[in-house]
Amino acid sequence: MTEYFEIHGRDGAARRGELRLTDPLSTPATVDAVLEDGGSRWHDEPAAPEGSESALTVLSHRALPPGTEPPVEAAFAVEYPDVDFPSAAVVSPGTAADHGADAYVLSNASGYLGHAEAFVDAILSIRDATPDDTALYCPGVATPANVATLAYTGVDLFDEKRAWVRGLEGFYVTTDGEAFLEDLDELPCPCPACQRPRETFERTDCAEHNVNALTAELARVRRRIADGRLRDYIEGQARHEAWLTAMFRRLDQQYGYLEERTPVFRRNELLAASDDSLRRVEIQRFADRVTSRYRRRLDAPLVLLPCSARKPYSESQSHEQFARAIGYRGHIVSMTSPIGVVPNELETTYPAQHYDSVVTGRWTATEIEFVSNVLERYLERAEYDQHIAHVPGEGYREICERVEASLGIEFEYTVVDHPTTDESLAALDAALEGEATYYKSERESATVRAIADFQFGDGAGDAVFGSDATTEGMYPKLRVRDGDGDHLATMVPQYGTLSLTPAGARAWIESDAPTKRVEIDAFVPTGSVLAPGVVDADPSIRPGDEVVFEGPKAFGVGRAACHGEAMVESTRGIAVDVRHCEETSAL
């Protein structure tokens, strides 16, 4: 049980936290100034460290090199004592376990440098075997070039050792790699060490610069985590070293680890700057939910449209022109990279209206393959009787032709030269001639139900709202009421999600839909449900999820501050941000 480390914010596996010493330390950070070493057990049994609340004490240990055989690890495993001061236990991937420490130290972490697969596997092994709310310390590895990527994997604590030693060896380290000090005619840094005259700049000055650069980079990482933009940063920054690029790509392959920790929505824009962005959890999750949870409720022909730079798409000039030609006779689905396909009902749902991508006029082979696969899976589930493709030729047409060949369907292509020409719009109108129109209220009902499916689980839209629910308000600020007029939910236009009322929460837990529940102890929350008050939580809960919490004295609804496993494991921090709470004794 950790008493001295608390997580305040998350960005996927990366965390902003606080090492709660006499002088608190915001993490990710270096710990040189606050670290005490309890000694090695390889020779003599050292005296038990006294410890103090002003330092993080590494308990006496036996360090093991990477690649140590499991029987050897087991033979030399250390039993760590329970202590009442901030402590860290040294572990390897094979010996990691819950030792009751506040932090865990990766044994001989420097041995993993340059080996992306081994480094990622080691970090995941330790994170899986130790409580979520404990810190992970990788000693002897941090440089300004790699610390952002390491933090992205879930490392919280570092030290200055490698940066300092590289300086003494004559290597000038920056966020884009390192150079021999002797090769630099001028120093590209404004730190105090680099303000000294170049002719008197020694290796000790170089070491000081390296540490300054590491400190500055950690401040940048903390800011990026707070903004939810660390992934955007490392997609560019990590490319300066091949093994770092391999490292975050290897981490992308560990989808379960990242997906569990990645929020269901963010406040900031998602930048898709390369093909690597297609592997981001947010994009893969959206594609998965659209093809496995979304249900088509409008009985109308499919109309595939190109995406637009303006979002939501319906507010763009091109989509306004398309809408006039379609006239409530077709079901609009937009094709886009990197998202895949976006049914009209989900155009505001994160990340459909929150991304920006690099537009060159040409699709890459990776983009074409990804969107083709998503469109194919979508059409297999949606089962349209008629398929209209109002898309330009470049990229879009190739995707449609691939899906035609795979599914044995036929698209009617309506674009002549460009989608917004009069001739093209007339062809789109003609393709829908004779089709029945649906009402605006039908589209709005389909929208809130589709969002419920996407957000809560397959079939939730009908299970939670029933057959007699109605909508009111102006899109996208829709409200849902049941047949008795009770307010069930409100659409949040910023994220395209549903915010439930207590009545909506009760309808949810009484339905057949999968419910994200948090069981709490016998108390009535006021502002937040803290982790120590959580008895159990649904493991499917993700950060930002709408959750129902209930206990002997309270019932309510709110947003998850972390994933379900972390709620149960953690002994500090917020588990649920409460929006509505009722005392059960008063019901």
pLDDT at position 535 over 80: yes
Lowest-pLDDT choice from 32-46, 155-169, 228-242, 509-523: 32-46
Task: List, for residues 145-169, the tens digit of each pLDDT value.
Answer: 999 999 999 999 999 999 999 999 9
Q: CA torsion 273→278→280→286, rounded to 10°?
A: 120
pLDDT at position 66 over 70: yes
pLDDT at position 475 over 60: yes
3-state secondary structure 534-556: EEEECCCCCCCCEEEEECCCEEE
Angle between helices 230-237 and 203-227 (to 10 degrees): 140
| Ranges of H-type helices in 469-580 | 502-510, 564-569
Reduce the DSSP state of residue 29 to 3 states and report it: strand
Q: What is the reported pTM? A: 0.93
Q: How far apart are CA 246 and CA 252, in angstroms?
A: 10
The partner residues of 61 in beta bridges, in order of sequence, read 40
Per-residue confidence band for 263, with pLDDT thresholds at 50, 70 and 90: very high
Q: How far apart are CA 19 and CA 27, in angstroms?
A: 7
Quick one: pLDDT at residue 74? 85
Task: List, for residues 549-569, the tens digit of each pLDDT value.
Answer: 999 999 999 999 999 999 999
Task: List, for residues 294-319, the tens digit of each pLDDT value.
Answer: 999 999 999 999 999 999 999 999 99
Quick one: pLDDT at residue 68? 86
Cβ-based neighbour number of residue 108 at 10 Å? 18
Q: How far apart are CA 26 and CA 447, in angstroms?
A: 42
pLDDT at position 43 over 90: no
Structural domains in the chain, CATH included, are 5-160+230-253 (3.20.20.105), 270-431 (3.40.50.10630), 457-586 (2.30.130.10)
If you count them, how many residues does the chain have?
587
Per-residue confidence band for 587, with pLDDT thresholds at 50, 70 and 90: very low
Task: List, for residues 443-465, the tens digit of each pLDDT value.
Answer: 999 999 999 999 999 999 999 99
Strand 470-472, strand 340-343: pairing = unpaired
pLDDT at position 47 over 80: no
Q: How far apart are CA 208 and CA 320, in angstroms?
A: 58
Q: Which two tokens stand for residue 576?
A: 């649920």
Q: How far apart are CA 413 and CA 431, in angstroms?
A: 9
| Average pLDDT for 328-353 | 96
| Average pLDDT for 354-371 | 90
Cβ-based neighbour number of residue 113 at 10 Å? 17
Question: For 110, phi and psi rounded to 5 degrees?
Answer: -65, -20
Q: CA torsion 10→13→14→16, rounded to 10°?
A: 40
pLDDT at position 40 over 90: no
Tell me the average pLDDT of the chain.
94
Per-residue confidence band for 273, with pLDDT thresholds at 50, 70 and 90: confident
Give, as one character, the DSSP assignment of residue 1. -
Q: How far apart are CA 145 and CA 332, in angstroms?
A: 45
pLDDT at position 1 over 80: no
> Which amino acid, residue 363?
W
Cβ-based neighbour number of residue 245 at 10 Å? 18
Nearest to 502 by CA among 459, 430, 558: 558
Strand 103-106, strand 157-158: pairing = unpaired
Q: Which two tokens stand for residue 264?
A: 């269901």
Task: List, for residues 130-142, the tens digit of each pLDDT value.
Answer: 999 999 999 999 9
Rounded to whole angstroms, the maximal C-alpha distance in the chain is 89
- Dihedral sign for Cα 21, 23, 28, 29, please: negative
Q: Which two tokens stand for residue 41?
A: 């057990």
| Average pLDDT for 380-407 | 95
Q: How far apart are CA 348 and CA 326, in angstroms?
A: 20
pLDDT at position 48 over 80: no
Per-residue confidence band for 110, with pLDDT thresholds at 50, 70 and 90: very high
Check residue 173 and give left, alpha or beta (phi > 0: left; psi -120 to 50: alpha): beta
Q: How far apart are CA 62 and CA 116, in angstroms?
A: 25
